[in-house]
Amino acid sequence: MRSLLALLLLAGLLVPASAAAQERPCGSQVTPVAGTQPVLAGSRPVLLVHGILSGRNHWGGSDLADLHRRLRGLPSVTLWTFDYSEVSDQWVTNDRIGPALARAVQCLAVASGKQVIVGAHSMGGLVTQYALGTVRDSVAGVFTVGTPFRGSLLLSVGQGLHGGAANLRPGDHLALRAGLALCKKFQKKPNSLCGTIDAVISQPVGRALTIDSAQIKALPPWPRDLPLLTVAGNTKYRWTLKLVLLPDPKIADFDMGDPFVSVSSATAEQRSDGRKVKECEPGGLLKVFTSTCSHSNLKGRIGVQNDIVEFVEKAARSSPPRIPATFRLPNEDTGTLTRAMRPWDAANACEPTDDRPSDSARLDMRGVVLPKGGDPLASQEHWQLATYRDDATAAKALAEIRAGESCTGQEGPAVDIPVGSGGFSRSKFSGAVAVGEPGDGLFRAATRIGNAVLLYARRPQNEPRPDLRTADPKAVAALTSVVKSMCEHGWSC
């Protein structure tokens, strides 16, 4: 009887813990947005990151229920929020902020087998920028709303800093100071923009958010190839003095941004299409701070939500599964990262300057040399994994490999390699090129899996015809392992 009670007690303790683990598979800072959604495995995670002095409800609350419903309506999307509210008055380098987001993204990518789409509001975009320094490969795209990529002019002027405001017209400077003066009427409201400004203006995080601060400059560079949507808000401040200057009222318009973040700062990292600026009707300061283009209200606009849904849909569709940062190639500890010439190119007298279109599109190449510690140029065989930004580019690279490269002057026909012993079929490893004369050239076989090209190369020795059937079993086993592992991580195998 006592044992039964003990078991019941144990079960009582375990069930909630297990349910919690299922609810929060990536730790206490990552929470699913309320509502039904598919299981994480195999889904496309969209992770919402809030801003300064905020919390997960700012992105994941009921006020954005319509956006959540629309995102969930996209195929296989699961919605999550990253919460750092307990330390949201700290700079992004805090272990519970930037590094924690990197861990969260990695976790979601591994658990889902898909790259994550990150949506950030305000400083959340800078948190994301920090995390991208280590988990770029786990991210399919980022959308930001009102992120101060270059800092906040309003905060800078509020701190008496004029360096960043050097390019401002005198009138713009006046408008920002007028905004700070109006804020005195709202600064006791903790959830208001003015309350936030008042709370952080004399804090280290407030100094970090000034224009072109050393802290912002120290962030990792934004990845140029990453699909990005940046949304900025702008309400023109229609400054007017008509009562105390009658009968000659004066009017002037100033671009105030949202007004915590200027348009140029919010879109500073946008290098291609994806820059969306929402303009509201000009008005007084009260309107500047409360319009639907203002910092806190911007993400609630229907047009912004349309942009976000369209972006997520496109990013989810165009981004094939790629190697998550946590992906480990078998025996990778024996490998070397190769970013220069391919060893076989050197062996075939190609120059680094030779035009190889697929190389310029290559994001990464990992070369693993067999046997352990061997020199790529001298080793008899090795395999390499190259990743590209999308399936089409990887397919182009594979076609180049198959066709041979013009710099070698050795056009080789694609041949099927009968590989059956390793667990992947002929169709999975269907192309090969023989380079050089049999017996003394290089022999390569390649296949594409998603946006990656896996290539096996060996230097035949006294073989009348290169044939993978005669390859070192260790190499075949390694290739098999890699292919299986990639398939398990969500490649379209």
Partner 1 sequence: MASARRRTMIIIFALVLATALGGLAGYLLTPERPATAEEFDAGGPPPPEAAETVRRLLSGDRAERDSALSPEVRELVGAAATLPPGTKLVLDADGWSGDASPYASATATVTLPGQAPRRVVFGFERADGLWRLLFEEEL
Task: Give the residues lining the site for partner 1 (CB under 8 A).
Answer: 158, 170-171, 173-174, 177-178, 180-189, 201, 239-248, 250, 252, 280, 283-287, 289-292, 297, 300
Q: Are 295 and 193 in contact (CB under 8 A)?
A: yes
Q: What is the 3-state secondary structure (H, E, C) of 201-266?
A: CCCHHHHHCECCCHHHHCCCCCCCCCCEEEEEEEEEEEEEECCCCCCCCEEEEEECCCCCCCHHHH
Minimum CB distance to partner 1, residue 229 (Å): 23
Minimum CB distance to partner 1, residue 78 (Å): 29
Which residue number, 59 or 289, has a Cβ lying nearer to partner 1?
Answer: 289
Which residue number, 178 or 395, has a Cβ lying nearer to partner 1?
Answer: 178
Indicate the pairing of strand 250-255 with strand 139-145.
unpaired
Separation between Cα atoms, residue 41 and residue 222, nearest integer Å: 28
Q: How many CB atoms lie within 10 A of CB 143?
A: 30
User: Which DSSP string do the residues of 430-480 spell out, in sequence order?
Assistant: -EEEEESSTTTSEEEEEEEETTEEEEEEE---S-SS--GGGS-HHHHHHHH
Minimum CB distance to partner 1, residue 384 (Å): 55
Provide the phi-psi class of 409: left if phi over 0, else alpha when psi is between -120 and 50, else beta. Answer: left
Which residue number, 181 or 392, has a Cβ lying nearer to partner 1?
Answer: 181
Minimum CB distance to partner 1, residue 76 (Å): 33
Which residue number, 24 or 173, has a Cβ lying nearer to partner 1?
Answer: 173
Which residue number, 187 or 338, has a Cβ lying nearer to partner 1?
Answer: 187
Question: Which uninterrupted H or E stretch holds 335?
Answer: strand 335-337
Minimum CB distance to partner 1, residue 64 (Å): 13
CA dihedral 475, 480, 486, 488 (to 10 degrees): -150
Indicate the pairing of strand 381-388 with strand 431-435.
unpaired
Which residue number, 34 or 178, has a Cβ lying nearer to partner 1?
Answer: 178
Minimum CB distance to partner 1, residue 218 (Å): 28
Q: Which residues contact 7 (CB under 8 A, 6 or more apart)?
A: none
Minimum CB distance to partner 1, residue 191 (Å): 13
Minimum CB distance to partner 1, residue 187 (Å): 7
CA dihedral 473, 478, 479, 485 (to 10 degrees): 140
Which residue number, 203 or 290, has a Cβ lying nearer to partner 1?
Answer: 290
Minimum CB distance to partner 1, residue 201 (Å): 8
Which residue number, 281 or 351, has a Cβ lying nearer to partner 1?
Answer: 281
Residue type, position 312, single letter: V
Minimum CB distance to partner 1, residue 311 (Å): 23
Separation between Cα atoms, residue 141 and residue 227, nearest integer Å: 5
Please compute Rg for the chain using Cα positions.
28
Q: Are 83 and 56 in contact (CB under 8 A)?
A: yes
Longest dimension (CA), the chain: 101
Tokens 């041949």 label which residue?
415
Which residue number, 99 or 283, has a Cβ lying nearer to partner 1?
Answer: 283
Which residue number, 177 or 465, has a Cβ lying nearer to partner 1?
Answer: 177
Which residue number, 197 or 385, has a Cβ lying nearer to partner 1?
Answer: 197
Q: Are 233 and 298 in contact (CB under 8 A)?
A: yes
CA dihedral 279, 285, 287, 290 (to 10 degrees): 100
Separation between Cα atoms, residue 240 and residue 199, nearest integer Å: 29
Minimum CB distance to partner 1, residue 487 (Å): 49
Could you check whether the bond before residue 259 is cis, i.e. omega within 30 degrees of 0? yes
Minimum CB distance to partner 1, residue 258 (Å): 14
Which residue number, 178 or 346, has a Cβ lying nearer to partner 1?
Answer: 178
